[in-house]
Amino acid sequence: MRPPRHAPSREGDFPVSTNLKNADLHARKNAATPRGVGVMCDFYAARAENAELWDVEGRRFIDFAAGIAVCNTGHRHPKIVEAIRAQLDCFTHTAYQIVPYESYVSLAEKISARAPGSHAKKTAFFTTGAEAVENAVKIARAATGRPGVIAFTGGFHGRTLMGMALTGKVAPYKIGFGPFPSDVYHAPFPNALHGVSVADSLRAIEHLFKADIEATRVAAIIFEPVQGEGGFNAAPADFVRGLRKICDEHGILLIADEVQTGFARTGKLFAMEHHGVVPDLMTIAKSLAGGMPLSGVVGRAEIMDAAAPGGLGGTYAGNPLAVAAAHAVLDIIDDEKLCERATVLGDKLKAKLEALKADVPQIADVRGPGAMIAVEFCKPGSHDADAAFAKLVQTRALERGLLLLVCGVYSNVVRFLFPLTIQEEVFDEAIGILEEVLMETVGAAV
């Protein structure tokens, strides 16, 4: 399957000419912004197209981070740019709660129609993924009259206070920020590589009901169908069905956090479609608007209506420019068959990584549905995490112009989040760089 050819693939197609220098900007950044805003790269973006970006000094990088899974449709897709420009000619902001607009309503209709389940659904829009999670919890509490929420180890749900409370990873997200909201509990997420079975996870939830909070006080169980920051651990089908069964038995709402997994990344529009299990509420964000800030909660109509008027919203929630971009994103996913392309690209990358296992003994696992792919590194002959190896792979790849992200509870996982619109030749170039880096790194480790 050939990709859409809507972007240049070399620096010469549009020269980047600035008088800025990365070192000067880095010094200014350190003087002007707090260290708590961690920044991975020491170079500064000047321009990006599809799966490539150029820094202020004209250096080219292949982007396998995509703004942390935000640019599934690539940087500056022409249809998204045009949609935003067209909206600029109309209005940029009214606050939907003050003066509403049709584009918000029609986007809600589209999302509700395409979310899992044939029941009546409603959708509300917000700005960030963390806002979506916060509002999903609010809706669940309003609908059930219960306070408790169960989340999972390794899960990531945002940097707000409730988001941090739900997140199952301490460093760097929780250090020094407590106390956190109460009535939040954690169970282990299934992880076969590290000895946590589906039965272990489901049994742990039942143990919570015995030891920490009675089931009748739990409003919701929230989980990621594929954990993002936690290491791209996919929820097994038996686990998802087990969660649905527990929720149905105890009147608990099931919240699927699809902030990172949504919008074709896993080979389906939403990852829950892989399991045939319908959540009561679902959070969405990231690639929803192709780089514009937009998030949402979609769920059963009667549950979504539980909050009183004024209980949901936000000044910028459902910004018209972002909503216009989201309409374009849905069209692009359909027109360019990005769900199918995610699977094609993901299978190609997984095959390459599997083939490298024989030469790179640090590769302990290659996993992920569609194009939500990760490789986990452990010390050869064991399941002991090798974070140093993962970091070295990331560093050496960046030196060669390939942008990768490290994740996982033990920071020993490299995740791949290339735009699904990436040109075939650029994708092949990136895989070639990755292979070179892995072979070089394993050689240095011997």
Domain locations along the chain: 11-63+337-445, 81-335
The C-alpha atoms of residue 395 and residue 142 are separated, in whole angstroms, by 46
Average pLDDT over residues 214-234: 97
3-state secondary structure of 254: strand
Those residues with Cβ within 8 angstroms of residue 365's Cβ, 6 or more apart along the chain or in another chain: 193, 375, 376
- Kindly give the pairing relationship between strand 295-300 and strand 253-257: unpaired
pLDDT at 446: 54
The helix (run of H) or strand (run of E) holding residue 415 is: strand 413-416
- The pLDDT of residue 168 is above 60: yes
Identify the burial level of 40 via C-beta atoms within 10 angstroms of its C-beta, where 0-12 means exposed, 13-18 middle and 19 or more buried. Answer: exposed
Contacts 24+ apart (CB under 8 A), 200-205: 201/152, 201/239, 201/242, 202/239, 202/242, 202/243, 202/246, 205/150, 205/243, 205/246
3-state secondary structure of 235: coil
- The pLDDT of residue 17 is above 70: no
Closest CA to 409 of 159, 180, 167: 167
> Phi and psi (nearest 5°) for 121?
-130, 155
Measure Cα distances from 261 to 111, 123, 411 in Å.
15, 18, 20
Q: For 166-190, give the DSSP string.
A: H----TTTTTT-PPPPSSEEEEPPP
pLDDT at 356: 97
Closest CA to 132 of 153, 162, 95: 162
Question: What tens digit of pLDDT does each residue of 132-160 get?
Answer: 999 999 999 999 999 999 999 999 999 99
Count of residues making up the chain: 446
The helix (run of H) or strand (run of E) holding residue 209 is: helix 198-211
Question: What tens digit of pLDDT does each residue of 327-337 get?
Answer: 999 999 999 99
67 backbone φψ class: left, alpha, beta (φ>0; ψ -120 to 50): left
- The pLDDT of residue 348 is above 50: yes
The C-alpha atoms of residue 202 and residue 77 are separated, in whole angstroms, by 42
Share of the chain above pLDDT 90, in %: 94
Question: What tens digit of pLDDT does each residue of 94-138 get?
Answer: 999 999 999 999 999 999 999 999 999 999 999 999 999 999 999
Question: What tens digit of pLDDT does each residue of 391-423 get?
Answer: 999 999 999 999 999 999 999 999 999 999 999
Q: What is the dihedral of CA 14, 17, 22, 23, to 10 degrees?
A: 160
pLDDT at 12: 45
- The pLDDT of residue 65 is above 90: yes
3-state secondary structure of 226: strand
Three-state helix/strand/coil letters over 64-123: CCHHHHCCCCCECCHHHHHHHHHHHCCCCCCCCCCCCCHHHHHHHHHHHHHCCCCCCEEE
Strand-pair partners of 125: 296
Residue 322 is which amino acid?
Answer: A
Q: How many CB atoms lie within 10 A of CB 266?
A: 28
Give the pLDDT band (50/70/90) at residue 171.
confident
The order of strands in the sheet holding 45-49 is 45-49, 52-55, 60-63, 402-403
pLDDT at 16: 59
pLDDT at 13: 53
- The pLDDT of residue 443 is above 90: no
- The pLDDT of residue 275 is above 60: yes
CATH topology (fold) of 11-63+337-445:
Aspartate Aminotransferase, domain 1 (3.90.1150)
The helix (run of H) or strand (run of E) holding residue 245 is: helix 237-250
269 touches 219 (CB < 8 A) = no
371 touches 418 (CB < 8 A) = yes
Mean pLDDT of all residues belonging to the chain: 95
- The pLDDT of residue 445 is above 80: no
pLDDT at 61: 98
377 touches 413 (CB < 8 A) = yes
CATH 3.30.1330.10 is right for the domain spanning 81-335: no
Share of the chain above pLDDT 70, in %: 96
Tokens coding 405 = 């992200």
Q: For 310-372, give the DSSP string.
A: TSS--TTTT-HHHHHHHHHHHHHHHHTTHHHHHHHHHHHHHHHHHHHTTT-TTEEEEE-STT-
The C-alpha atoms of residue 222 and residue 168 are separated, in whole angstroms, by 11
- The pLDDT of residue 8 is above 80: no
The C-alpha atoms of residue 264 and residue 270 are separated, in whole angstroms, by 7
End-to-end CA distance of the chain: 39
The single-letter DSSP state of residue 417 is -
Q: How many CB atoms lie within 10 A of CB 210?
A: 9
The C-alpha atoms of residue 426 and residue 8 are separated, in whole angstroms, by 10
Average pLDDT over residues 355-380: 97
